[in-house]
């Protein structure tokens, strides 16, 4: 069972952003690979602290975690239960370590020789994927075509002779306060630690070319318009021994012809005739969750709302489903035959046809209030 993120960092639940950052830096330095070579326990705690900080340092994720705990990120968000690698940690939070380890250039894992060869990350790609309401309710696997940068076939790289593979230039200067060490990105390799050795025809100055690729994107049920999903490693590749960027998938919801979405709930405008409203009837509705049968009671008034629980949209955080709200509307005919007109003229003064709402017949505003409660 996962430990509480606040417990992992050793802060209280009302800790502010600065306290959380300070606590994470302390833990990260304590369990850093350079201080604990070959220590698998330290590696686990290093990753655990990074996962906790990734959530608690983000206001939106922190709010979701405070409300739902680890359940808020099952299958979405966070680092997927501690599956992040060292490159992800240093890519996301490398600036937090500051100069504690020589001003940059981290080793990429535990149990090595302490080598600090740089690994740059390729740029991210951003695409939009359109989804129907049916796909949002059920979840879907989408295959999308993207043009992404990859290393050209035949391109080879060699260690940068300026920075010797570290990606940074370290300078030591004597000042009145003593010797000071500063580090800056290597201008020769741009921080990659490698430079192009052999450039194939058609490749750019970094040995990269554009390639069309088909990527499979697993979209969970319950996503909303504008939400952004990350497909790790499917962005642009990086030259040399760099790691690929990510593909960011922005969801665009296609409006449904009949159903209207409101959060996790769905709204359906359902029309019945005057006769059906007076006599009552049984009707079948084809919803996105299948065929459902509803019963219209005799004397049903226009504006009545029938709630079908659990027939709405599933929560992306896996804490239930919304409802389907059926708005009953009595259809009034615009033209009448002579016989129909004669009937309604005869009923116009009949007491049974005169409006006589009881206390149980709620007003429009009460119905709206109930609908949103």
- Bridge pairing between strands 265-273 and 324-331: parallel
CATH of the domain at 127: 2.60.260.20
Q: How many CA atoms lie within 13 A of 292 on its CB side?
A: 17
Identify the H or E element spanning 369: helix 364-372
Same domain for 323 and 359, yes or no, is: yes
Query: For 31, left (φ over 0), alpha (ψ -120 to 50), or beta?
Result: alpha
Which of 67, 87, 112 is where one domain is finished?
Answer: 112
Same domain for 216 and 232, yes or no, is: yes
Same domain for 94 and 139, yes or no, is: no
pLDDT of residue 305: 93
CATH of the domain at 59: 1.10.287.110
Is the predicted pLDDT of residue 63 greater than 90, yes or no?
Answer: no
Query: For 303, left (φ over 0), alpha (ψ -120 to 50), or beta?
Result: left
How many residues belong to the chain?
Answer: 373
pLDDT of residue 128: 94
pLDDT of residue 189: 86
* 1 vs 64 pLDDT, higher one: 64
Q: What average pLDDT is seen over the chain?
A: 83
Tokens representing 217 are 């994107």
Same domain for 85 and 124, yes or no, is: no
Return the minimum-mean-pLDDT range out of 61-75, 182-196, 240-254, 266-280. 61-75
Cβ burial 117-130 (10 Å sphere, 16+ → b, else e): bbbbbbeebeeebe
CA proximity to 328, closest of 301, 355, 353: 301
Please tell me the distance from the alpha carbon of residue 111 to that of residue 34, in angstroms, as a whole number: 9
Handedness of CA 129, 130, 133, 135 (dihedral sign): negative
Residue 201's CB is within 10 A of a number of other CB atoms, namely 7
Q: Give the mean pLDDT of 61-74.
A: 78
pLDDT of residue 65: 85
Which of 236, 254, 272 is where one domain is finished?
Answer: 254
Same domain for 237 and 188, yes or no, is: yes
Residue 185's CB is within 10 A of a number of other CB atoms, namely 16
Same domain for 249 and 150, yes or no, is: yes
Is the predicted pLDDT of residue 265 greater than 90, yes or no?
Answer: yes
Same domain for 159 and 211, yes or no, is: yes
pLDDT of residue 89: 62
- Bridge pairing between strands 247-253 and 228-231: antiparallel
Identify the H or E element spanning 142: strand 140-151
pLDDT band at residue 54, thresholds of 50, 70 and 90?
confident
Same domain for 4 and 81, yes or no, is: yes
Please tell me the distance from the alpha carbon of residue 298 to that of residue 130, in angstroms, as a whole number: 43
Q: Angle, nearest 10°, between helix axes 40-56 and 17-30? A: 170
Same domain for 301 and 346, yes or no, is: yes
Please tell me the distance from the alpha carbon of residue 137 to that of residue 129, in angstroms, as a whole number: 15
Please tell me the distance from the alpha carbon of residue 167 to that of residue 226, in angstroms, as a whole number: 37
Q: Give the mean pLDDT of 229-248.
A: 90
Is the predicted pLDDT of residue 99 greater than 90, yes or no?
Answer: no
Is the predicted pLDDT of residue 112 greater than 70, yes or no?
Answer: no
Same domain for 225 and 248, yes or no, is: yes
pLDDT of residue 109: 43
Same domain for 22 and 144, yes or no, is: no
* 179 vs 303 pLDDT, higher one: 303
In tens, the pLDDT along 133-171 reads: 999 999 999 999 999 999 999 999 999 999 888 888 888
Give the SS3 label for residue 101: coil
Query: Do 8 and 49 contact (CB within 8 A), yes or no?
Result: yes
- Any idea what DSSP says for residue 366? H
Return the minimum-mean-pLDDT range out of 107-111, 140-144, 285-289. 107-111
How many domains does one find in the chain?
Answer: 3
* Containing structural domain, residue 211: 117-254
Same domain for 266 and 240, yes or no, is: no
Q: Give the mean pLDDT of 165-182.
A: 79
* 74 vs 83 pLDDT, higher one: 74
CA proximity to 252, closest of 128, 134, 145, 138: 128
Which of 254, 289, 322 is where one domain is finished?
Answer: 254
pLDDT of residue 40: 84
């Amino acid at each position: 069972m996962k430990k509480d993120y606040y417990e992992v960092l050793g802060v209280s639940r009302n800790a502010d952003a600065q306290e959380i950052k300070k606590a994470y830096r302390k833990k990260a330095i304590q369990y850093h690979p350079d201080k604990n070579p070959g220590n698998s326990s330290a590696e686990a705690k290093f990753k655990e602290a990074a996962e906790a900080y990734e959530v608690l340092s983000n206001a939106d994720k922190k709010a979701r975690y405070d409300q739902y705990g680890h359940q808020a990120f099952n299958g979405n968000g966070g680092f997927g239960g501690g599956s992040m690698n060292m490159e992800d940690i240093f890519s996301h939070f490398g600036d937090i370590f500051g100069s504690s380890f020589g001003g940059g250039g981290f080793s990429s894992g535990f149990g090595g020789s302490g080598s600090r060869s740089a690994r740059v990350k390729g740029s991210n790609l951003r695409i939009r994927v359109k989804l129907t309401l049916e796909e949002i309710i059920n979840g879907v696997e989408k295959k999308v075509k993207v043009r992404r940068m990859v290393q050209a076939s035949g391109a080879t790289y060699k260690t940068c002779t300026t920075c010797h593979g570290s990606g940074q230039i370290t300078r030591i200067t004597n000042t009145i306060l003593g010797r000071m060490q500063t580090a800056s990105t290597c201008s020769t390799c741009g921080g990659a630690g490698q430079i192009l050795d052999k450039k194939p025809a058609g490749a750019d100055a970094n040995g990269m070319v554009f390639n069309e690729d088909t990527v499979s994107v697993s979209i969970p049920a319950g996503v909303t318009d504008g939400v952004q999903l990350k497909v790790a490693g499917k962005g642009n590749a990086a030259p040399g021994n760099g790691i690929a960027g990510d593909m960011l998938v922005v969801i665009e919801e296609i409006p449904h012809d009949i159903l209207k979405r409101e959060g996790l709930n769905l709204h359906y405008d359902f029309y019945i005739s005057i006769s059906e409203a007076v006599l009552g009837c049984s009707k079948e509705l084809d919803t996105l969750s299948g065929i459902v049968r509803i019963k219209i009671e005799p004397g049903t008034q226009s504006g009545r709302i029938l709630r079908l629980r659990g027939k709405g949209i599933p929560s992306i955080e896996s804490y239930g489903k919304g409802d389907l709200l059926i708005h009953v509307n009595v259809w009034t005919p615009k033209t009448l035959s002579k016989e129909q007109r004669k009937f309604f003229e005869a009923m116009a003064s009949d007491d049974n046809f005169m409006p006589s709402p009881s206390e149980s017949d709620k007003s429009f505003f009460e119905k709206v209030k109930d609908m949103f409660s």
